[in-house]
Amino acid sequence: MRFGAAVLRSYQGPFALEEVALNAGPAAGEVLVRIAGCGMCRTDLAVRRSAGRSPLPAVLGHEGAGVVVETGGPDTRLSVGDHVVLSFDSCGYCRACVRGDPAYCDSFAELNLFGGHKEDAGRFTDASGKPLAPRWFGQSSFAEYAMVPARNAVRVDPALPVELLGPLGCGFLTGAGAVFNTFRAGPGDTIAVLGAGAVGLAAVMAAAAAGAVIVAVDRHPERLAMAERFGAIPLYGAASLRDRIRKLTDGGVQYALDTTASPELINDALRALRPTGHLGLVARLHQPLPLEPGTLDRGRKLSHICEGDAVPGLLIPRLTELWQAGRFPFDQLIRTYPLDEVNEAERDCETGRVVKPVLIPHSKKEHP
């Protein structure tokens, strides 16, 4: 079958809307999904900064959601017509997967970042028959259709606006999962969120739903205004950050989540932790992180959090239930674009003009 997709052919060049082809139907354990909407995540855009690691040409996109139109058999647990949110891929059988930690799958990098299974090569091609990199994050959902492993497709209530749900599969999953799964924050806990982008604001919303006291740090006043609307105490800029957090939280926070990868902010957040406090990092560090002596004394912890330590099939339904209850208003962060405006969506994402762009493949005009 042939359909439209946004293809990235060079690490410096723009996306191009092209006709692409799937040259085989779903294999056992796979489903074909008509994409209703796909969030744009900074991980998609990071492909440009890690030139050579992720193969091109490729169709990116890993926050897809849509409707199942074909299945590869009964073992998929899904049926034609099911509404699904797509998340990251995992092998399902390594030790990490078996113990319920699919984000730490032994094959995570291969399946999600570096081209997928080699046996998939040739199944996905451009209009001239030349191969495209197989399944980015098991999806390649900057497209009208995606062939995905059923294990990373999560069934959702068909009454929900499926075109807006895709970011629950990665960006919003990561921020909320850090609060619910990693920190297990509860009423009265204190948490600092550094960086009020899509991941950070999802963490703010989740912390508010958990009943925590939240401090949000950012250098963009409009982002801080959103964080404050969702229940956070806003802190502008990084000056004297440790002292200001301590003053606002009666001596420090139990948890902190950094989305900035700034060594200076990370060190300030560590020094703002209470004893036994935990700082989680979600962004890849691109420079050394020197730590002052004593920073991790008295039980303080520093860890990297991948995909919110989430099992998508458990967390995504929880987030949709919170949204329906008015306690996780992620839709307020979204602006939608037709697929042919993918480059405009990228610019708005990179500049911070929009928190979470969502591409609508079957739309020809913007939905404000």
Q: How confident is the model at residue 365, as a pLDDT?
A: 44
Q: How confident is the model at residue 118, as a pLDDT?
A: 62
Average pLDDT over residues 263-280: 95
Contact 183, 255 (CB under 8 A): yes
Read off the pLDDT of residues 248-260 as tens digits, 9 standing for 90 and up: 999 999 999 999 9
Contact 231, 219 (CB under 8 A): no
All residues at 6 or more sequence positions from 250 whose CB lies less than 8 Å from its CB, including other chains: none
Token pair of 336 as six digits: 């939608």
**pLDDT over 70 percentage in the chain:** 96
Read off the pLDDT of residues 212-248 as tens digits, 9 standing for 90 and up: 999 999 999 999 999 999 999 999 987 789 999 999 9
N- to C-terminal Cα distance for the chain? 31
Read off the pLDDT of residues 284-297 as tens digits, 9 standing for 90 and up: 888 899 988 888 99
Residue 70 confidence (pLDDT) above 50: yes
Contact 33, 148 (CB under 8 A): yes
Contact 113, 138 (CB under 8 A): no
Average pLDDT over residues 162-169: 98
Q: How confident is the model at residue 120, as a pLDDT?
A: 64
Smallest Cα–Cα separation from 58: which of 145, 4, 131?
131
Q: How confident is the model at residue 359, as a pLDDT?
A: 98
Residue 357 confidence (pLDDT) above 70: yes
Token pair of 171 as six digits: 């960006």
Q: How confident is the model at residue 51, as a pLDDT?
A: 54
Quote the CA–CA distance of 254 and 190 in Å, as a whole number: 5
Quote the CA–CA distance of 71 and 332 in Å, as a whole number: 33
Q: How confident is the model at residue 292, as a pLDDT?
A: 83
**DSSP states of 309-362 as a string?**
G--HHHHHHHHHHHHHTTS--GGGGEEEEEGGGHHHHHHHHHHTS-SEEEEETT
pTM of the model: 0.94
Neighbour count for residue 303 (Cβ, 10 Å): 11
Tokens 């962060």 appear where?
Answer: 333
Average model confidence (pLDDT) across the chain: 93
Token pair of 188 as six digits: 């009265």
Residue 280 confidence (pLDDT) above 90: yes
Contact 252, 246 (CB under 8 A): yes
